[in-house]
Amino acid sequence: MSQNFRQILPGSTIGVLGSGQLGRMFAIAARRMGYRVHTFSPESDTPTGQVADVEINASYQDLDAVREFARGVSVVTFEFENVPAITAQTAAEFAPVRPDGMVLHTTQHRLREKTFLAAHGLPVTPFKKIQNLTDLQTGLKEMGCPAVLKTAGYGYDGKGQIRIASPEEAEPAFGSVPQQEMVLETFVDFQCEVSVVGARGLRGNFAHWGVIENSHRNHILDVSVAPANIPEGVASQAVEITRTVLEKLDVTGLLCVEFFLTRSGDLLINELAPRPHNSGHLTFDACVTSQFEQQLRAVCGLPLGSTEMLRPAAMANLLGMLWQGGEPNWAAACALPGVKLHLYGKLAPKPGRKMGHLTALAETAAKASQLVRAARAALVDGR
């Protein structure tokens, strides 16, 4: 077996760049299968670090520390995409990085990402590169209003986005964001938002968990439901687009494709995430193989696991605002049959901070959605 296809077996050490809740759930899956986990990030006592064997605290720009980290692991993966590309490149001097650093380079920058998708004929929201106010004013004339102005780099959970309702709002909108490269996108009047989390192994094998339907509040994912309530043909198309994206990017590991489903029934790619995704958290409880175990299998060259969904499921995020009236009533939520509680070990609740999530399993997706919302409400109402 060539070095590129060498399996990394249980007992080996996996390196994770990043130390949030995605890394925590990945580390739980890895530890369960007998792997050791080292996490690298600037913070200490992190969600991942609380579960990992070793927590390394250093700047992503400290390349000597990155080299030392990479020397001690068999493979490196990501738990979030805002790791500098040079960090991934440096780690790759000593251990394979999966997905490859070029995947990270493309997907962490909206303009590079959208240009890549458009170049490969994939359905993407219409966009225009913005470097100055004149570009923005010209773009609004060409694309019309409303439109959305986004920073090109380092955006998530709605950060770095401004909706422009009329041409008169162009100048104040442009002046309200730090001067950097930006992207102007057509505002999409969608009927719903959906996502597909896909996995691709070392030999190009592909797996997915079907289409997940997502609702947001204040630009942050609020509730995810699976399977999505969309036509079968649209679901099949979303899966095939996801497969194509993973193939064109040559991903080894996980990647989530977020879509808008327009009112005319068309799919448009909104964003890519080269890692486990918030909408896929429900796979931890609802599927034979979770997205986190699948990430481990993919980056280690193991066979991909079954993605069979055992029961329809829904996931509700728990944000810091839930703590404003005191400690949530965990017993009230846990008293509901079919509800699972996941807390991330974050040190302090803050508004908008993802502190944990609830998963609910039921006979139908609709019932799961109702149950998970009721469970979250019980955290406050039962206090």
Q: Over the stretch 51-110, which tens digit does the pLDDT of each residue have?
A: 999 999 999 999 999 999 999 999 999 998 889 989 999 999 999 999 999 999 999 999
The enclosing domain of 173 has a CATH number of 3.30.1490.20
Say yes or no: 203 and 166 in one domain. no
Instruction: Establish if 111 belongs to a structural domain.
Output: no
Q: What are 269-314's pLDDT values in tens digits?
A: 999 999 999 999 999 999 999 999 999 999 999 999 999 999 999 9
Instruction: Establish if 152 belongs to a structural domain.
Output: yes
Cβ proximity of 296 and 201 under 8 Å: no
Instruction: Give the integer Cα–Cα distance in Å for 246 and 117.
Output: 11
Domain count, the chain: 3
Instruction: Establish if 175 belongs to a structural domain.
Output: yes
Say yes or no: 175 and 206 in one domain. no
Say yes or no: 233 and 217 in one domain. yes
Instruction: Give the integer Cα–Cα distance in Å for 202 and 24.
Output: 24
Say yes or no: 182 and 207 in one domain. no
286 contacts: CB under 8 Å, gap ≥ 6: 226, 309, 310, 311, 312, 313, 359, 361
Instruction: Give the integer Cα–Cα distance in Å for 254 and 276.
Output: 6
Which pLDDT does position 170 carry in this prediction? 87
What Rg do the C-alpha atoms of the chain give, in angstroms?
A: 21
Instruction: Establish if 120 belongs to a structural domain.
Output: no
Which pLDDT does position 153 carry in this prediction? 75
Instruction: Give the integer Cα–Cα distance in Å for 154 and 211.
Output: 26
Say yes or no: 176 and 279 in one domain. no
Say yes or no: 9 and 74 in one domain. yes
Instruction: Give the integer Cα–Cα distance in Å for 148 and 178.
Output: 16
Which pLDDT does position 154 carry in this prediction? 62
Q: What are φ and ψ of residue 199, in 5° steps?
A: -125, 145
Instruction: Establish if 110 belongs to a structural domain.
Output: no
Q: Domain of 65? A: 3-97
Last residue of a domain, one of 97, 117, 148: 97
Say yes or no: 264 and 374 in one domain. yes
- Collapsing DSSP states into helix, strand and coil, what is residue 20? coil
Last residue of a domain, one of 57, 77, 97: 97
Say yes or no: 371 and 259 in one domain. yes
Which pLDDT does position 106 carry in this prediction? 94
Last residue of a domain, one of 134, 166, 186: 186
Q: How many helices (H) and strands (E) does the chain have?
A: 12, 17
pTM, two decimal places:
0.94
Say yes or no: 93 and 169 in one domain. no
Cβ proximity of 344 and 354 under 8 Å: yes
203 contacts: CB under 8 Å, gap ≥ 6: 5
For 186, half-sphere exposure in the C-beta direction (CA atoms, 13 angstrom radius) is 15
Cβ proximity of 233 and 264 under 8 Å: no
Say yes or no: 89 and 177 in one domain. no
Report the amino acid identity of residue 155. G
Query: Which parts of the chain sit beneath pLDDT 70?
Result: 1-4, 154-159, 178-179, 382-383
373 contacts: CB under 8 Å, gap ≥ 6: 223, 314, 316
Instruction: Establish if 108 belongs to a structural domain.
Output: no
The enclosing domain of 7 has a CATH number of 3.40.50.20
